[in-house]
Amino acid sequence: MWRQIAFAIVLVQLTYLVATLGINGPAKRPGDKLLFAHVIYRHGNRTPVGTYPTDPWKDVSNWQTGRGELTNVGKQTQLLLGRWLRKRYNSLISDFYSTEDVYVQSSEYDRTIMSALANLAGFYPPKGKDIWDKTIDWQPIPVHQIPRSLDNTIASSKPCARYDEELKRYLHREPFRSYNRSIASVYEYLSKHTNMTVDNYTSLVTIYDVLHIQHLSKLKLPEWTRTVYPEPLTCISATFYRLPTSTILMKRLRGGPLLKEILNRFQQKINKTLQPDRSLWIYSGHDITILSLLDGLGVLKTHVPSFAACVMIELSTAVDGKPFVSLFYKNSDAEPETMVIPNCGTRCPLQKFGELYKHLISENWEKECAL
């Protein structure tokens, strides 16, 4: 049964690839000029947010820091990503920090704020006039935070009653109900061995998250986990991670606000009305930030984003001066994948890009959220 579930998910991914092979050549060509980039990344490695009664590593003393906090490995992961981003955008951004060049925004969580700071340590090592202490190869760069109660772009923690209603409705209808019944044996097995009730997507994903982080931390997992980890828990969790954007309305209310900001800045850049006239905007966020954006754009392949996974949405002009948008996704140490924008390819004209996703843009998000 569990192998069949995993096979079905792989089949869906292959079907997606076949359906999106409308590639119009490489994203970058001679004569292209990069004008602006939005970078959206997940925070670095963290400790587990939750635990379960029989967890041998549940005591906080087993960990470097508290629950859900950035680890030293997470800091290093973000430092390396920052260095990689500096190389990618070195021609776009000055060696010296200026608020006129870049803006860094984070959700109001310790792990995302610290990730942004670690990333900037790699992106902006002080040089020349920016060196303020020769014993520290670091300089302070501002990271702007959005209060959780107001954040509808990064952590999506701002209340939205209509979204909550739509999610509840989706959970009580097909195809989710059938899928949930198909993994009943997994729920039962986890409940038995964790000594807690595991009967919904939230509790299952919590168990997966705990086991995955312990595995990455090279901690010995209980013998019983061999039956469910890494599979089928990884595939099931990846499926559940798509729940927040399961319908068009959910995509609009969850991923739409961030996409709206991105589109507005791109248009302002072309119109020469962007003030200050920055070239780089960085968001330090979460797995849900990555997934909501990719799913809204129609390019999400079912998976769980790695720590420090990074999406880059770039605005360039071709040799003829016409603006186009390219999309890249870096989910490992390898070079990023060039994503195929559905019905537009890898070099999507800016105007068409806006038209393709106008159904996800709300004129008044707060009003639309009201019941």
pLDDT per residue over 98-150, tens digit each? 999 999 999 999 999 999 999 999 999 999 999 999 999 999 999 999 999 99
Structural domain total, the chain:
2
Q: Are residues 199 and 293 in the same domain?
A: no
Place of tokens 């070195």: 90
Tell me the pLDDT tens digit for each residue of 241-282.
Answer: 999 999 999 999 999 999 999 999 999 999 999 999 999 999
Query: Three-class SS of residue 330?
Result: strand
Q: Are residues 133 and 237 in the same domain?
A: no
Nearest to 250 by CA among 215, 291, 278, 210: 291
Q: Are residues 118 and 151 in the same domain?
A: yes
Tell me the pLDDT tens digit for each residue of 30-43.
Answer: 999 999 999 999 99
Nearest to 137 by CA among 90, 64, 79: 79
287 is catalytic: yes
**Which residue among 219, 244, 269 closes a domain?**
244
Whole-angstrom distance, CA of residue 191 vs CA of residue 194 = 5
Task: Tell me if 12 is assigned to some domain.
Answer: no
**Set 32, 101, 110, 287: catalytic member:** 287
Q: Are residues 142 and 51 in the same domain?
A: yes
CB 194 within 8 A of CB 54: yes
Task: Tell me if 7 is assigned to some domain.
Answer: no
Q: Are residues 56 and 187 in the same domain?
A: no
CA atoms within 13 A on the CB side of 231: 11
Task: Tell me if 353 is assigned to some domain.
Answer: yes
Q: Whole-prediction pTM value?
A: 0.92
pLDDT at 7 over 80: no
Distance in Å from the first CA to the final CA of the chain: 40
Q: Are residues 240 and 252 in the same domain?
A: no
Give the pLDDT band (50/70/90) at residue 3: low
Tokens of 325: 């948008």
Q: Are residues 149 and 259 in the same domain?
A: yes
How far CA 226 is from CA of 7, 193, 208, 233, 287, in Å, comes to 19, 12, 12, 11, 25
What is the bridge-based pairing of β-strands 323-330 and 337-339? antiparallel
Beta strand ranges found along the chain (DSSP E): 33-42, 102-107, 144-146, 280-285, 310-317, 323-330, 337-339, 348-349
Q: Are residues 210 and 239 in the same domain?
A: yes
pLDDT at 89 over 90: yes
Nearest to 40 by CA among 91, 122, 101, 116: 116
Instruction: Read off the CATH number of the domain in which 350 is found.
Output: 3.40.50.1240
Give the pLDDT band (50/70/90) at residue 365: very high
Task: Tell me if 103 is assigned to some domain.
Answer: yes
Helices 233-240 and 2-19: angle between axes, nearest 10 degrees: 50
Nearest to 295 by CA among 264, 265, 258: 258
286 is catalytic: no
Q: Are residues 346 and 359 in the same domain?
A: yes
Q: Are residues 133 and 266 in the same domain?
A: yes
Q: Residue 338: what pLDDT?
A: 98
CB 297 within 8 A of CB 357: yes
Residue 197: domain span: 162-244
Task: Tell me if 166 is assigned to some domain.
Answer: yes
Nearest to 340 by CA among 302, 311, 309, 298: 298
**Which residue among 215, 244, 273 closes a domain?**
244
Q: Which H or E run contains 114? A: helix 110-123
Q: Are residues 257 and 116 in the same domain?
A: yes
Who contacts 241 (Cβ-Cβ below 8 Å, separation ≥6)? Answer: 205, 287, 288, 291, 302, 303, 304
Task: Tell me if 11 is assigned to some domain.
Answer: no
Task: Tell me if 8 is assigned to some domain.
Answer: no
Query: Three-class SS of residue 83?
Result: helix
Tell me the pLDDT tens digit for each residue of 309-360.
Answer: 999 999 999 999 999 999 999 999 999 999 999 999 999 999 999 999 999 9
Alpha helices, H only, 68-109: 72-88
CB 43 within 8 A of CB 143: no
CB 289 within 8 A of CB 308: no
**Set 38, 43, 212, 303: catalytic member:** 43
Task: Tell me if 9 is assigned to some domain.
Answer: no
Whole-angstrom distance, CA of residue 84 vs CA of residue 333 = 10
pLDDT at 15 over 80: no
Tokens of 17: 């690839």
Q: Are residues 32 and 139 in the same domain?
A: yes
191: burial class by Cβ within 10 Å (0-12, 13-18, 19+)? middle
Whole-angstrom distance, CA of residue 231 vs CA of residue 331 = 20
**Which residue among 191, 221, 244 closes a domain?**
244
Q: Which H or E run contains 204? A: helix 201-216
